[in-house]
Structure 1
Amino acid sequence: MPSDATPDPGVEALVFGQRMKMLRNRRGMSRTVLGGLLDKSPSWVKQVERGILHTPSLSMVLRIAEALRVRDLAELVGCQPIPTELFIGPGHQRLPKVREAINRFPVSSDRQAPTTAYLRSRLTRAWSVRHSSPNHREVIGEFLPELIRDAQLAVRQADTAADRRAAHAVLAEVYGLSQFFLSYQPDSALLWRVCERGLVAAQESEHPHAIGVAAWLAAQAHRDSGHFDAADAITHETIRFLTPLLPEADTEVFAIAGALQFEAGYTAARRGDTAVAWSYWDKARALADRLPPTYFHPITSFSDAIMGAHAVTVAVELHAGGESVRQAEAAASVSIPSRPRRARHRIEEARGYQLDGQPDAALATLEKAFNSAPETIRYNGYARRIVLEESESKSPARRRRAAELAVKIGVLTG
């Protein structure tokens, strides 16, 4: 067998380098791309894969797992199965009831469906509570089961084509809310089912905003699964669909178009394409500038205020530590009204500080994220990775600080 061939996992137990190579090939990722994500050379990746270099340190193993989107570390390191949930948070206590509502297949009902206007008012309330709550999965998990059933019922009982389209628009948004609840929970099949149903409902609605939101969510799901081409295909197609509508569009359609421009930049940054990533950020910035100053999109958070946070994300995904910190400092004076989105921004800042060699600042920023929205950081793999890495720091004070935060977010038991 050629020395560069992919090993047969059935021949013998795979060593770390072989597993890394197999997982990299499964992602369709070159050594150059993986090395770039790890701040290492393609030659370093090749030497690890061939066993010339020994298994890296824990912190590097965690970075490799992040880059390859490994869910269970046993896939990468071998040994007995060790369910780690590094990049998936714990299952929420309300997950079983949400899952049951999604999986039901009601074909008849003796109950009258609520009006779409009433359903939309409930959705508006759900989004508002989500943004204001430190534990947003708890509150939307309480709303979702009945909201899913009622929205499905509204579609089935619609009397006219116009009523059915309106009901489908609501149903698509309910599935979007469900996707926020399900993200980073241990049921990826359920998340994909909701994502696909949301796309179908949005297309049936023929409503530009519903289509844009469903596409925005689907692109995120594909990108987080490592399917960058699929994410780009959805994002770019939807941008082409929305662009001719913008001269006459309302604020929500305008905002979702801006959110999709940023998503295209986000995916480019994950690929390591600096020029394309910042080009799309600029396009999103131009659309955000045309929104009312206090406007905040209720689903995507797209707004003038969020663009600073988006700049931090682009810099972090490009592994530019100094630029990440510079962008974080530039965005420091801007207030993000959503607690979970503000916590997510703090996590991105923490990633930037760690990239820039400032681990104490990274931990301090993660503590701010926890104070803003504890549930957000508990389900965030990047935050969990930073905390685990710093729990092995050579600094006793940093180890203690990281361990305390690890207990708070559920990575370690107290």
Structure 2
Amino acid sequence: MAFDDTGEGGASAFAEVPFGTRLKLHRTRRGLTREVLGGLVGRSASWVKALETGRLGTPRLPLLLRLAQALRVRDLAELTGAGSIPVEPFSGPGHRRLPAVRAAVNAFAPPADRPAPPLPLLHSRLRGAWLARHAAPDHREVLGALLPGLITDAQAAVLGAAKECERRTARALLSEVYSLAQFFLAYQPAQNLLWRVCESAVVTAREADDPRSLGIAAWLMVQAHRDAGDWDAADAVTAGALEHLGAHLADADSDELLSLWGALQFEAGHTAARRGESGAAWHRWDTALRAVARLPDGFYHPVTSFSRAVMGAHAVTVAVELRNGGEGVRQALRAQAHTIPSRPRRARHRIEQARAHRLDGREGEALELLAQAHAAAPETIRYNGHARAMIAEGLSSREYRAQAAALADRVGVPA
């Protein structure tokens, strides 16, 4: 909720409220501790306290943007008291296909005259959508075109199922369609819709009693909680999902379930790294690495990207979240981005490598890695808050402004 800066007679009721006071009000309104907020923006609790008490002044634009994103502030004026500067241009735009996807999710029920598709056909369409998502440089454009029909048809399949076994299969497919939708909705100005889809994926997977779809939905919910700063909730979902999947690892499709179990082990490590718990973070990464070693050569999970190729990328992420730039660069040099078959995931890895180089003071190399991310998948970098913040920081550097400006023009960051 924004401050109401206008009082009776047009007087500004909050014009003189210091930045630190505004920051504290937004932080407490969201229920975040100083430690949690600091972790979300890569700083310490004492740094947040220094801002709130006025010992430090208003941070520069890149950090200010990170704070606004962590606090879900829509306009920087809510923090600074200055003229209106919407956060949206810095955090990723709304995709042109967002209204159609929103309409499909919000629909009370599929049209009465829409026949339920055969389940094998729906399954094939869903597999094709995942493949298209990994292959596309503009995966939101691709998913945005496919999702309205998939959502509507998957809902119709659940309603039209004649037998309970068919209904469970249809629900598992619907849950996975909702999970697919989260890759489209992430980092767009549609947080309420994202959470509804996230929760629908979990509920529908539970109704299907399907460990695979539940593992996928839980994997995404962990990320949603962590990105929202609720690390305890992320840990609770991870623990519950790991226990549930662990009970099914002897099933016929154990490679699939083992990969989901390994992906969740890494998510636990990612959350630990956000907390600054180095030992726990690397222990979970090691556990995930042992899981991937048990999978067949060439295995690549179509949703989580869990594979041998992605474990190097995960190591970069752990180091970056622990704010260890030197280790991040070392891991980045070891990780082979070209072996990751998914274009969006490859681009995201380049962004994580850029974060590592930026932490290590190698700003020029970081910007070059962001250019490589753009070449791999322009839509991934366009919607990534870390990438946009690094470009904004580059714009404020005399040495790297020209390099950053060229990227800003392509990515859509205001120069």
Retained in 2: the 8 A contact 1:86–1:381?
no
Q: Does 2:409 align with 1:407? A: yes
Match in the other structure for 1:114 = 117
Letter in 1 for 2:374: F
Displacement of 1:249: 5.0
2:258 alignment partner AA: F
1:370-381 map, 5 Å: 370-381=374-385
Match of 2:256, as an amino acid? E
Q: Could you tell me which residue of structure 2 aligns to residue 344 of structure 1?
A: 348
What's the counterpart of residue 135 of structure 2? Answer: 132
Q: 2:214 aligns with which of 208, 211, 215?
A: 211
**1:164-214 deviation per Cα after TM superposition (whole angstroms, max 9, x unaligned):** 000000000111111111111111111111111111110111111011001
Which is worse superposed, 46-55 or 375-384?
Answer: 46-55
Distance 1:228 1:393, change over 3 A: same
Assess if the C-alpha contact under 8 Å between 1:87 and 1:382 holds in 2: no
Q: How far apart are the structure 2 equivalents of 1:192 and 1:98?
A: 14
> TM-score when scaled to structure 1?
0.92
Q: Match of 1:254?
A: 258
Q: Tell whether the 8 Å contact from 1:347 to 1:365 is kept in structure 2 after alignment.
A: yes
Say whether residues 1:241 and 2:244 are aligned partners: yes
2:333 — aligned with what? 329
Q: 1:125 to 1:268 in 2, by over 3 A?
A: same
Paired residues for 1:34-45 under 5 Å: 34=37, 42-45=45-48
Match of 1:356 among 360, 363, 376: 360
- Using the alignment, how far apart are the partners of 1:382 and 1:219 within structure 2? 19
CA 1:390–1:255: 2 relative to 1, 3 Å = same
SS at 1:245's partner residue? coil
CA RMSD between the two structures: 2.3
Q: 1:315/1:67 Cα in 2 relative to 1: closer, same or farther (>3 Å)?
A: farther
Q: Offset of 1:161 from its aligned partner? A: 0.8
Cα deviation code 1:279-337 (max 9, x no counterpart): 11111111111111201100110111100000111111111101110110111376100
Give the aligned partner of residue 270 of structure 2: 266
d(CA) in 2 for partners of 1:292, 1:87: 41
Cα offset, 1:82, TM superposition = 2.2
- CA gap of 1:46–1:101, structure 2 versus 1, over 3 A, is closer
Deviations 1:212-242 (A, max 9, x none): 0011111111111112111111111110111
Which of 169, 172, 175 aligns to 2:175? It is: 172
Is 2:65–2:87's contact at 8 Å kept on the other side of the alignment?
no
Instruction: Identify unmatched segments of 5+ residues in structure 2.
Output: 8-12
1:152-191 matched pairs, under 5 angstroms = 152-191=155-194
Greater shift, 78-87 or 362-371, is seen at 78-87
* Map of 2:19 onto structure 1: 16
CA distance in 2, matches of 1:158, 1:39: 49
Q: Which residue of 2 aligns with 1:382?
A: 386
1:315 aligns with 2:319: yes
Of 361-370 and 312-321, the range deviating more from structure 2: 312-321
Q: Which runs of 5+ in 1 are unaligned?
A: 1-7
Deviation at 1:46, TM superposition (A): 2.8
Contact kept, 8 Å, 2:40 with 2:229, in 1: the verdict is: no
1:85 to 1:39, Cα distance in 2 relative to 1, 3 A: closer
Q: Secondary structure at the match of 1:246?
A: coil
- Cα deviation digits, residues 315-366 of structure 1 (max 9, x gap): 1111110111011011137610000000000001101100000000000000
